[in-house]
Amino acid sequence: MKVRLWLFAWMMIAVGGGAAMAEPPLLATAPMQLAMGVLPQSSPLMVVGTVFRDCSDCPEMVVMPQGAYIMGAPPGEEEQEGVPVRQRGRALPQHKVFISDAFAVSRYEITVGEFTRFVTATGRQMDGCWLSVNGEWKLLEDRNWRLPGYGQTDRDPVVCVSWDDAKAYVDWLSGAMKQQYRLLSESEWEFVARTGTLTARPWGAAIGRNFTSCAGCGSRWDSQRPAPTGSFSVNRFGLYDMLGNVAEWVDDCWHENYQDAPRDGSSWTGGACEFRVFRGGSWIDPPRTVRSAQRDRDTPQLRSAFLGFRIARNIEP
């Protein structure tokens, strides 16, 4: 049974006497109320916008819609935002991406409390973290995800976790819950961050005030630390903190631009895999970095006080 979505209609057309599936329309600006549609599987709970958990202390997941969108920075955005010349072009060329697989995304960035469960179960050691000290980035061996340089509660987004750590987490959770958890692909990440918008940010072109935490976003956490998860407004797909707060690892290997990028929502696993992609900007970054199209990279072993992650879960027919 095909997914039935109010926002995304797949239209059948006749071609040469046979039936063919037309391209889905581009995702229009989504309304504030989430669309509801039955996903191709038996659970009555798995409708678009549903929030669920696979266990009492598992991350809350939100079922995502499907559709097509334009990925990348529109003409002039990087110049208008003041992106350094050497960093321009990373989100080009713009291209259409089709998201057709059913999946859910964690409602919040993975929290300290959720990550604690993983570390307790596995005994994983993760000492050492890069912090900004008097404006200079330094690797401090006595800092880690438990002690990132500021006070935390279980509700705070976990930081000082590498791409390798994030992959270990989803592998552990998949085994524990007998479900396929994973990092988002880069194109999935931008799809659920944009929520149908074409502006630099889902709330509009300007950074505004108090939409998120960054170095100039107008929040009380700016440049000091990440905000506790859920401190800002939810986006139109039911997710919090997609931009700013902490930057988020995604699954893909790094490429300098989108030439020959996948168009089906899958991870781009070929290329410079000695670097992995992170998205969204963070509490310590300037507003030009807090954009739907912004992308950057580092080594999969890097742990930093500005880097965390969120996760996806496949929904099988």
Span 213-242, pLDDT tens digits: 999 999 999 999 999 999 999 999 999 999
Question: Which residues, 6 or more positions from 232, have their beta carbon under 8 angstroms from its beta carbon?
Answer: 210, 211, 212, 213, 219, 240, 241, 245
Distances (CA, A) of 176 to 55, 173, 179: 10, 5, 8
Give all strands of the β-sheet with 51-52 in edge-to-edge order. Answer: 51-52, 61-63, 103-106, 311-314, 181-183
Tell me the per-residue pLDDT of 128-148, one tens digit each, with 9 for 90 and over: 999 999 889 999 999 999 999
Structural domains of the chain in order of their starting residue, each with its CATH number: 12-314 (3.90.1580.10)
Question: How many other β-carbons are positioned within 10 Å of the β-carbon of residue 310?
Answer: 27
Q: Give the pLDDT of residue 42.
A: 44
Q: In sequence order, which residues have a C-beta less than 8 Å from that of residue 84 and are 6 or more positions away?
A: none
pLDDT for residue 7? 34
Spatial separation of the C-alpha atoms in residues 75 and 124, rounded to whole Å: 44
* Per-residue model confidence (pLDDT) at position 43: 53
Dump pLDDT digits (tens) for 81-115: 999 999 999 999 999 999 999 999 999 999 999 99
**pLDDT score of 169 more than 60:** yes
pLDDT band with cut points at 50, 70 and 90 for residue 17 = very low
| pLDDT-based confidence at residue 19 (cuts at 50, 70, 90) | very low
pLDDT given for residue 272 in this prediction: 83
pLDDT of the residue at 15: 25
* More confidently predicted of 44 and 250: 250
Tell me what pLDDT residue 285 has.
97
Q: Is the pTM of this model over 0.75?
A: yes
Looking at residue 45, its pLDDT comes to 54
Q: What is the pLDDT of residues 52-90, one digit of tens each?
A: 999 999 999 999 999 999 999 999 999 999 999 999 999
Which residues have CB under 8 Å from 238's CB, separation 6+?
34, 49, 51, 62, 107
pLDDT of residue 291: 98
Please say if the pLDDT value at position 207 is more than 80. Answer: yes
Alpha-carbon distances, residue 3 vs 9, 93, 154, 292 (angstroms):
9, 30, 36, 26
- What pLDDT was estimated at residue 12? 24
pLDDT of residue 58: 96
Q: Which residue from 156, 64, 149 is spatially nearest to 110, judged by alpha carbons?
A: 156
Cα–Cα distance for residue pair 311/177, rounded to 1 Å: 14
